Amino acid sequence: MKLRPMPRAMGTQSNKAIEDSVDERTEILVIGGGHAGLCAAISAREAGRSVLLLDAASESMRGGNSRHTRNLRAMHTEPTATLTDRYDEEEYWQDILRVTNGQTNEELTRLVIRESFELLHWLSSRGVRFQPSLRGTLSLDRTNAFFLSGGCALVNALYRYAMQIGVVMHYEKEIAHIELSGTSFRWAETKTGETFHADAAVLACGGFQANTDWMVEAWGDAALNFLIRGTPLNRGYVLRDLMQQDVLTIGDPRQCHAVAIDARAPKFDGGIVSRLDSVPFGIVVNREAKRFYDEGEDFWPKRYAIWGRLVAAQPEQIAYSIIDHKVQDLFMPSVYPAITADSIPELATKLDIDPQALSDTISQFNAATDQGTCDHTVLDGRRTTGLLPDKTNWAQTLDRGPYHAYPLRPGITFTYLGLKVDQQARVQMNETTFAPNLYAAGEIMAGNILGEGYCAGTGMTVGGVFGRIAGTSAAAGLQT
Ligand SMILES: Cc1cc2nc3c(=O)[nH]c(=O)nc-3n(C[C@H](O)[C@H](O)[C@H](O)COP(=O)(O)OP(=O)(O)OC[C@H]3O[C@@H](n4cnc5c(N)ncnc54)[C@H](O)[C@@H]3O)c2cc1C
């Protein structure tokens, strides 16, 4: 097959001009232009195929959830320019096994782990830049490589490279239907009825967390109070359409990555700056001013991903992280200022919770806590006694005003229910058959790796590794 000539100044072309420049049949259609879709499109194009990438977003909002990211988790057996020490396959596997409680496919997960090291090189040689390893409170310098200038820079670098090698992109194309013939892909259709034919397709269009109706179906009305940390466009239309055509899925619709974020964040796309790291430094109460979980159970990077679910289980899905003045500089601040008051009753009034109930909760907490200071760099064992629940590390009295509070809501990062795939990223259509020309990568198949729980940086690793595999497999699967 003859490669498409390098497009001229594609970055400044309108969609119409790009469409006019498509003078050959699309061999591979990639649906979704986040990290996974870009890795797939580039891999298929580098294998000599004509590739059309469609995304529901406008050009200025492209990049899905991948825009919001900061790092990916990669194995390595010796220090590198971006990672310290070593983090080998077995340790990575044990980490995934532990957080998922065994709800993972070992074969596929080990594949992701083994390919994660090579992914760093692959991305680097296509324009993505990483920063030197970060030491500090996140404790990720050994395991996670950070993108220089964040996920937006990664996405832009991959778009630039993809355009240079001749991947064609159409924005504002939201696919709602995949036409199948038996177990084969035929064409994709937008909500408005526009069709895109190709010899093979890669589905990389995210989870369904931004689809409020579907979230309510899974969670009940509680989901109306969830905030979605990323793109409003990952609505799961393609996943739903395939489910309606009896294609196999894996995972539970309620399983997802959910953290506690500032309740003042927007419904969608608040990104990383609305995350709150204040929980271990004080107490967390619900709408009734009652504590409901051990705020000092473990280091925050190991616990932040359970707090979305904990808040989701509280009345009206709201909670409040409350600290006193002496700890206010010890954690990364949220983008929103704390709600502050000189006394606890005044703070409660500002939060619209019962002042007496909050005063009682804090008095009981203080009475169950020894005087003295905490060491937040270790699990210091400074605990309360006799409370339900106790705080088992970093318990110190809340007694120095002014007092500060942050309202918390469940912040959903991405859902895990997805398409079942094999090692070539082929979609499993039924108990016995894999599609010959339909592949999936990224959030839409992350449930194969993550049945529950989360290890920071795994989302981008799954997307990158399976994106590459899907693009390569799709290219290799064509006859000529
Ligand atoms: C705030 C935040 C921070 C995060 N930080 C990290 C991190 O540091 N490290 C990490 O590993 N993971 C992180 N994640 C998770 C990570 O973003 C995802 O795991 C990863 O980006 C998934 O890539 P993807 O390509 O599958 O999805 P996305 O990047 O979301 O791309 C999906 C694309 O599909 C498009 N789309 C959706 N539906 C359709 C449709 N019907 N038709 C056409 N196009 C469609 C969307 O517009 C979007 O562009 C973070 C997520 C969020 C929200």
Per-residue DSSP letters for 393-431? Answer: SS-----SSSEEEEEEEEEEEEE--EE-B-TT-EEE-SS
Say what percent of the chain tops pLDDT 70: 94
32 within ligand 1 shell (Cβ under 6 A): yes
What's the confidence (pLDDT) of residue 25? 84
Residue 138 has pLDDT above 70, yes or no: no
Pocket probe for ligand 1: among 38, 65, 259, the residue whose CB has the most ligand atoms within 8 Å is 65
What's the confidence (pLDDT) of residue 136? 60
What's the confidence (pLDDT) of residue 6? 37
- As given in the structure block, the two tokens for residue 66 are 């991948």
Binning pLDDT at 50, 70 and 90, where does residue 16 land? Answer: very low
pLDDT tens across 277-314, in order?
A: 999 999 999 999 999 999 999 988 778 889 999 999 99
Q: What is the largest CA-CA distance in the chain?
A: 77
Q: How far is the CA of 206 from the centre of ligand 1 (A)?
A: 6
Question: What's the mean pLDDT in 151-155?
Answer: 98
CATH architecture of the domain with residue range 1-255+416-480? 3-Layer(bba) Sandwich (3.50)
Q: How far is the CA of 417 from the centre of ligand 1 (A)?
A: 14
Using the CB atoms, write b or e for 314-333: b if 16+ within 10 Å: beebbbbbbbbeebbeebee
Contacts of 110 (CB under 8 A, 6+ apart): 89, 93
Phi, psi (deg, nearest 5) at residue 173 = -120, 95
Which of the residue ranges 104-113, 139-148, 239-248, 427-436 would you say has the lowest mean pLDDT? 139-148
Binning pLDDT at 50, 70 and 90, where does residue 57 land? Answer: very high
147 within ligand 1 shell (Cβ under 6 A): no
Question: What's the mean pLDDT in 230-252?
Answer: 98
pLDDT tens across 247-268, in order?
A: 999 999 999 999 999 999 999 9
What's the confidence (pLDDT) of residue 445? 98
Binning pLDDT at 50, 70 and 90, where does residue 134 land? Answer: confident
71 within ligand 1 shell (Cβ under 6 A): yes
460 within ligand 1 shell (Cβ under 6 A): yes
95 within ligand 1 shell (Cβ under 6 A): no
What's the confidence (pLDDT) of residue 7? 38
204 within ligand 1 shell (Cβ under 6 A): yes
CATH architecture of the domain with residue range 266-411? Alpha-Beta Complex (3.90)
205 within ligand 1 shell (Cβ under 6 A): yes
pLDDT tens across 333-373, in order?
A: 889 999 999 999 999 999 999 999 999 999 999 999 987 78
Q: How far is the CA of 35 from the centre of ligand 1 (A)?
A: 7
Binning pLDDT at 50, 70 and 90, where does residue 4 land? Answer: very low
Q: How far is the CA of 68 from the centre of ligand 1 (A)?
A: 8
CA 394/CA 383 separation, integer angstroms: 7
31 within ligand 1 shell (Cβ under 6 A): yes
Which of the residue ranges 99-113, 134-148, 206-220, 405-419 would you say has the lowest mean pLDDT? 134-148
pLDDT tens across 59-118, in order?
A: 999 999 999 999 999 999 999 989 999 999 999 999 999 999 999 999 999 999 999 999
35 within ligand 1 shell (Cβ under 6 A): yes
Contacts of 172 (CB under 8 A, 6+ apart): 15, 55, 56, 57, 58
CA 115/CA 476 separation, integer angstroms: 19
Residue 221 has pLDDT above 60, yes or no: yes
Contacts of 318 (CB under 8 A, 6+ apart): 225, 263, 286, 287, 311, 407, 408, 409
Pocket probe for ligand 1: among 60, 66, 119, the residue whose CB has the most ligand atoms within 8 Å is 66
What's the confidence (pLDDT) of residue 8? 33
The C-alpha angle 224, 70, 81, rounded to 5 degrees, equals 160
37 within ligand 1 shell (Cβ under 6 A): yes
Per-domain residue ranges for the chain? Answer: 1-255+416-480, 266-411
323 within ligand 1 shell (Cβ under 6 A): no
Q: How far is the CA of 154 from the centre of ligand 1 (A)?
A: 12
Which of the residue ranges 57-71, 137-151, 200-214, 417-431 would you say has the lowest mean pLDDT? 137-151
201 within ligand 1 shell (Cβ under 6 A): no
pLDDT tens across 183-209, in order?
A: 999 999 999 999 999 999 999 999 999
Contacts of 311 (CB under 8 A, 6+ apart): 260, 317, 318, 319, 408, 409, 410
Binning pLDDT at 50, 70 and 90, where does residue 479 land? Answer: confident
The rounded Cα 199 to chain-centroid distance in angstroms is 30
Q: How far is the CA of 189 from the centre of ligand 1 (A)?
A: 21
